[in-house]
Amino acid sequence: MKKLSVVIPVYYNEGSLPGLFVELIKVEEQLLARGIELEIIFVDDGSGDCSFGELLKIKEQRQATIIIKLARNFGAIHAVKTGLQYVTGDCFTMLAADLQDPPELLITMADKWLAGSKFIICVRESRQDPFLSKMFARMYYGILRFAVAKDYPSGGFDLALMDSLMLPYLQKSGKNINISLFAYWLGFEPEVINYQRQERVHGKSRWTFSKKFTYLLDSILGFSVVPIRMISFTGFVVALLSFIYGVVTVVNANINHAIVPGFTTIATLISFLLGLIIIMLGVIGEYLWRIFDEVNQRPEYVIHEVH
């Protein structure tokens, strides 16, 4: 019998876990009818509520469920990568625990996998988010399409089913990684499923603006050389304009035999160029930090216990 593995990161999801488990049991019954076994892997990412207690209750009802508790909060990406180390299925996916992505999509994706697709992605048709969140998302995916993958879905995707062929690459990927983008970057032709994301009922999103901004930096700097090339191009343009300005100033002074007034201009240029240099050094520093973070062998996650 074939097997589908589902990795579910959990962080302050005590309210949604009982309902999620009920939905997963329904999905499991339909998958079994198709000759597919369901492997469920929960990863508690240092939740400060009763999420782990709810997971233990699920374990009592379904002994085959795998529960991993991390020592502290390492972030959703690292929680997912923890779960990926325990995947044994012929195909696998990552599912949010907040029930915003309908679990029944697993059946639709599994059908397409049985039909031969190696990579199936679920793209949201619309976003029921605040205006600022929508604006940031539009900017984020626009930058991704410009700097990393031109054909990346304009609205992105969070839910995807992948063949086990892709698993080793995800297990060995770098620390600062966007799993969805990395999977897309591997080059497998995706089959797209459009769906409506459900409104969040339980709890509140812990996906803060600072986390989103860090995720943006990791996505761009982890996959693209465009920022460094933009720095090089900007430096070339500024150097060229400075040279032209210097030539014009010297010629004007010699022809008109006049002292060229320019304190304000020079002060403005110096301030602008210093700011530009600081920004450039910041971008270079971000790249250097990611190199350091990879080579110092600091663990991505620490497992407290496994059930």
| DSSP-assigned letters across all residues of the chain | -EEEEEEEEESS-TTTHHHHHHHHHHHHHHHHHTTEEEEEEEEE-S-SSSHHHHHHHHHHH-TT-EEEEESS---HHHHHHHHHTT--SSEEEE--TTS-S-TTHHHHHHHHHHTT-SEEEEEES-----HHHHHHHHHHHHHHHHHT-TTS-TT--SEEEEEGGGHHHHHT--SS--HHHHHHHT-PPPEEEEEPPPPP-SS-----HHHHHHHHHHHHHTT-SHHHHHHHHHHHHHHHHHHHHHHHHHHHHHHHT-----HHHHHHHHHHHHHHHHHHHHHHHHHHHHHHHHHT---S--EEEE-
**Percent above pLDDT 90 for the chain:** 39
- pLDDT tier, 120 (very low <50, low <70, confident <90, very high otherwise): very high
Tell me the per-residue pLDDT of 72-119, one tens digit each, with 9 for 90 and over: 988 888 899 999 999 999 999 999 998 888 899 999 999 999 999 999
Residue 231 has pLDDT above 60, yes or no: yes
Tell me the per-residue pLDDT of 4-42, one tens digit each, with 9 for 90 and over: 999 999 999 998 899 999 999 999 999 999 999 999 999
Instruction: Output the pLDDT for position 124.
Output: 82
Of 203 and 41, which is predicted with more confidence? 41
Residue 128 has pLDDT above 70, yes or no: no
Query: What is the distance between the alpha carbons of residues 135 and 113, in angstroms, rounded to a whole number?
Result: 34
- pLDDT tier, 130 (very low <50, low <70, confident <90, very high otherwise): low
Instruction: Output the pLDDT for position 207.
Output: 61
Is CATH 3.90.550.10 correct for 2-204?
yes
Residue 122 has pLDDT above 70, yes or no: yes
Which one-letter amino acid corresponds to residue 232? S
Query: What is the distance between the alpha carbons of residues 16 and 184, in angstroms, rounded to a whole number?
Result: 29
The overall average pLDDT reported for the chain is 84
For residues 282-306, average pLDDT:
82
- This prediction's pTM: 0.79
